[in-house]
Amino acid sequence: MEFTQFGRKMTGNAGILSLMDDLGKATACGSKPMIMMGGGNPGQVPEFQEIMRQRLLDICRDPQLFHRLIGSYSPPQGDKSFVENLAALLKKRQGWDIGPENICLTNGSQTAFFMLFNLLAGSMADGRQQKICLPMAPEYIGYADLGLTEGLFVTTKPDIELLDGGFFKYHIDFDRLEIGDDIGVICISRPTNPTGNVVTDAELARLIDMAARRGIPLIIDSAYGLPFPGMVYTKAESVWLDNLIVCLSLSKLGLPAIRTGLVVAKPAIVAALTAMNAIMSLAPTSFGALLAGQLVASEEIIGLSHNLIQPFYRAKMEKAVAAVREFFAGIPCRMHKPEGAMFLWLWFEDLPITSLELYQILKTHGVLVVSGHYFFPGLGGDWRHKDECIRVNYSLGDAEVRRGLEIIAGVVRQIYNRNG
């Protein structure tokens, strides 16, 4: 059997496929426990889980709500009351000048990016090839293989600022960043997955201005960011303008399995996504809208994000950073300044092996991480730095995170010592 070009692309050696396949195999293998520090699965926040459990029980007790949950399609734009309440929330609490016509729900953020990227970049009707500009790498592993055409991404190498305490921070290199005539959209995650970097307000303002002058959209992937789940540990403002597409998610609140993405965009983009929803899946799932609808309608989602979710992850981040300082002493390791999300990005300078080889060795020691080389889509040329970094998720229990970091440090120390 021969697959089409689309089939070969969607079944090939994609970084996100490798990551999710590893996670699935490790989860299914009960005989050899694996410390799962590789994926983006959120942690278990007991208070939030209890709120969701009670809400699900309430829905199950109400025949009409239960029917809406499992027995009827939502509109292709998404559950009407949820969309209306979310628009009202963002207008009131964030000051965004939007209405229900600016919001579309999707079956997860990954689906939203597949639709947006191929809507705004790729082969145009006049034969031109439009591309996606990622202002700097590293960037989210899941972007890399979403395009239906090859060579979809253009990326610029970042500036690296070395900070005190063994930290560093990536910055957009605006002197090198070019938004050519072939760019159809700019996209950036904030906080950035994998590094926990938060693009500064000043950097974001420059990107917004560059996109506006070119007459193209700027996508802000805020799956970990503002206004919810609010996993931001530094100063940052949430913004909305007509040329922005802001992508939110219910996953990192603690609901990854319900696959609910939220896109805020101009009405023409929302109308296009609505049509694509209808063609691809008839309608987005109602589960997230029904389960989290009360949190949005009551505006409680903002308070929960600020008072529960953000402090939960900030405390875990601080413990993980302390463990790195303890276990990695004497190892040439720098940490990206953890300004948001749920990851540590570790840079092993002059690592004698590649980060992919390190990842494979760590698997044999019972720790699953992600090799950094996957996070540089569209960045050509040789740059050793791409093979010196790994992403580590610290959302597990604190004891597991400490043990995982201790194992990583022991393996890395042996590698340097053998090649010293």
Q: Read off the pTM.
A: 0.92
50: in domain: no
**Are 309 and 388 in the same domain?**
yes
Domains of the chain: total: 2
How far apart are alpha carbons 394 and 342 in whole angstroms?
6
**Are 35 and 82 in the same domain?**
no
**Are 269 and 214 in the same domain?**
yes
Report the first-to-last Cα separation within the chain, whole angstroms: 50
347: in domain: yes
**Crossing angle, helix 46-61 and helix 287-297, to 10 degrees?**
110
Q: Which two tokens stand for residue 329?
A: 């002493």
Q: Omega into 138 within 30° of 0, i.e. cis?
A: yes
| Residue numbers of the domain that contains 230 | 74-299
369 CB-side CA count, 13 A: 31
Q: At residue 241, what are phi and psi to the nearest 5 degrees? A: -140, 165
Q: Which two tokens stand for residue 138?
A: 């590293």
68: in domain: no
28: in domain: yes
**Are 170 and 263 in the same domain?**
yes
55: in domain: no
At 148-207, the pLDDT tens digits run 888 899 999 999 999 999 999 999 999 999 999 999 999 999 999 999 999 999 999 999
Q: Supply the CATH number for residue 312's domain.
A: 3.90.1150.10
Helices vs strands, H then E, count in the chain? 14, 16
The more confidently predicted of residues 32 and 244 is 244
245: β partners: 219
Work out the percent of the chain whose per-residue pLDDT is above 70: 95
Distances (CA, A) of 25 to 20, 31, 255, 330, 343: 9, 12, 21, 34, 22
Q: Contact 333/347 with Cβ under 8 angstroms?
A: yes
Domain endpoint, select from 242, 270, 299: 299
56: in domain: no
411 CB-side CA count, 13 A: 22
The more confidently predicted of residues 381 and 42 is 42
- Which pLDDT score is estimated for 8? 77
Q: Supply the CATH number for residue 248's domain.
A: 3.40.640.10
How far apart are alpha carbons 31 and 232 in whole angstroms?
37
Task: Name the 3-class secondary structure at 412.
Answer: helix
**Are 206 and 170 in the same domain?**
yes
Q: Name the nearest CA neighbour of 304 among 19, 36, 52, 23.
A: 52
**Are 392 and 274 in the same domain?**
no
**Are 192 and 289 in the same domain?**
yes
Residue 420 has pLDDT above 70, yes or no: no
103: in domain: yes
Q: Contact 248/264 with Cβ under 8 angstroms?
A: yes
How far apart are alpha carbons 420 and 418 in whole angstroms?
6
Q: Which two tokens stand for residue 88?
A: 């009202």
Q: How confident is the model at residue 216 (pLDDT cuts 50, 70, 90)?
A: very high
Domain endpoint, select from 252, 272, 299: 299
**Are 315 and 287 in the same domain?**
no
At 274-302, the pLDDT tens digits run 999 999 999 999 999 999 999 999 999 99
Q: Contact 206/212 with Cβ under 8 angstroms?
A: no
Chain-centre distance of CA 267, in angstroms?
24
- Which pLDDT score is estimated for 190? 97
**Are 266 and 329 in the same domain?**
no
Q: Omega into 63 within 30° of 0, i.e. cis?
A: no
**Are 133 and 252 in the same domain?**
yes
- Which pLDDT score is estimated for 81? 96
How far apart are alpha carbons 40 and 211 in whole angstroms?
29
Lowest mean pLDDT of 28-42, 270-284, 405-419, name the range. 28-42
**Are 274 and 379 in the same domain?**
no
Work out the percent of the chain whose per-residue pLDDT is above 90: 85
Q: Give residues with Cβ within 8 angstroms of 40, minimum separation 6.
A: 193, 252, 256, 342, 343, 393
**Are 14 and 110 in the same domain?**
no
Q: At residue 283, what are phi and psi to the nearest 5 degrees? A: -160, 155
Q: How confident is the model at residue 145 (pLDDT cuts 50, 70, 90)?
A: confident
236: in domain: yes
Distances (CA, A) of 325 to 14, 319, 389: 33, 10, 17
Average pLDDT, the chain: 93
Domain endpoint, select from 299, 327, 348: 299
